[in-house]
Amino acid sequence: MEITHTYHGLGEQYAKIREGSPEFVRFMVEKSGLFELAKQLPEQPIYIVEFGVGSGQQTIHLEDELEKSEINNYRILALDKSFNPDSGGCQLNILKHRIRHGRISQSVLPVQYDFDGKELPIPSEKIDLSYMPLVLHHLTYKAEIMGEIARISRQGARLFIYGAALEDLKDHPLNEFFPKYEFDARRCPTYKEIKKLFKKDIKST
């Protein structure tokens, strides 16, 4: 078996061994307010953004939960930078393959975009729900992307982040085999740093 750390290699392996987290998606949909929004405005599509969609592991569970909640009128903007027009192995390529073959619906709109520190290609106050599964620790410009998410979110919209703070990894079982905590200290934010991302600095004028 070829072992590689490129996006090409990761895409196929992630699709095989990472099946997403249905408990996270179930919690997110229950707390999202989307069911109430769909009842109030049935003719208006619900707009969702998934940051770092990969090959759609979480997206599959999200569509299942939306169906259970009888939410059918929605669009999921699926952002990821991993796409190669000359290869099928990258994660976004696999997502597009899943859509073509009906495992994921055409309400999911894949977009190749490296959103880290960049303005999002989405109008202001457009989005009803944003979520970021296992992505925050990969971002260099965390505060900037939070500001952009605030811009594109309508009043009352929700943001869900699934991942680990640095403190969660202190006694990780893999520390026995390699310095995981030491490595993750360079990329995983602390609880304090995460909380700071959600605090708006309000200054009197």
pTM of the model: 0.84
With respect to residue 178, please indicate whether it lies within any of the assigned structural domains: yes
- Whether 135 and 170 map to the same domain: the answer is no
- Whether 94 and 183 map to the same domain: the answer is no
Residue 87 burial (CB count, 10 A): 11
- Whether 82 and 111 map to the same domain: the answer is yes
**pLDDT the model gives residue 15:** 57
Q: Which domain holds residue 82?
A: 7-163
**pLDDT the model gives residue 104:** 96
With respect to residue 135, please indicate whether it lies within any of the assigned structural domains: yes
**pLDDT the model gives residue 87:** 66
- Whether 205 and 141 map to the same domain: the answer is no
- Whether 38 and 116 map to the same domain: the answer is yes
Per-residue pLDDT in tens (0 to 9) along the chain, 205 residues:
343 445 455 555 555 556 779 999 999 999 999 999 999 999 999 999 999 998 899 999 999 999 999 999 999 999 998 767 666 668 888 899 899 999 999 999 999 999 999 999 999 999 999 999 989 988 999 999 999 999 999 999 999 999 888 888 777 776 677 676 677 777 888 889 888 888 764 443 3
- 38 Cβ partners below 8 Å, 6+ apart? 46, 69, 70, 71, 73
Give the domain CATH number at 29.
3.40.50.150
- Whether 74 and 37 map to the same domain: the answer is yes
With respect to residue 2, please indicate whether it lies within any of the assigned structural domains: no
- Whether 152 and 169 map to the same domain: the answer is no
With respect to residue 197, please indicate whether it lies within any of the assigned structural domains: yes
- Whether 21 and 60 map to the same domain: the answer is yes
**pLDDT the model gives residue 136:** 92
The pLDDT tens digits of the residues spanning 29-67 come to 999 999 999 999 999 999 999 999 988 999 999 999 999
With respect to residue 196, please indicate whether it lies within any of the assigned structural domains: yes
65, HSE (Cβ side, Cα atoms, 13 Å): 19
DSSP state of 128: E
Per-residue CA distances from 145 to 19, 33, 152 (Å): 26, 23, 11
- Whether 17 and 90 map to the same domain: the answer is yes
**pLDDT the model gives residue 52:** 93
Torsion 114-108-30-19 (CA) sign: negative
**pLDDT the model gives residue 177:** 73
With respect to residue 1, please indicate whether it lies within any of the assigned structural domains: no
- Whether 100 and 197 map to the same domain: the answer is no
How far apart CA 95 and CA 97 sit, in angstroms, is 5
Ordered alpha helix ranges (H), the chain: 7-17, 22-32, 34-40, 57-68, 91-100, 142-152, 180-184, 191-197
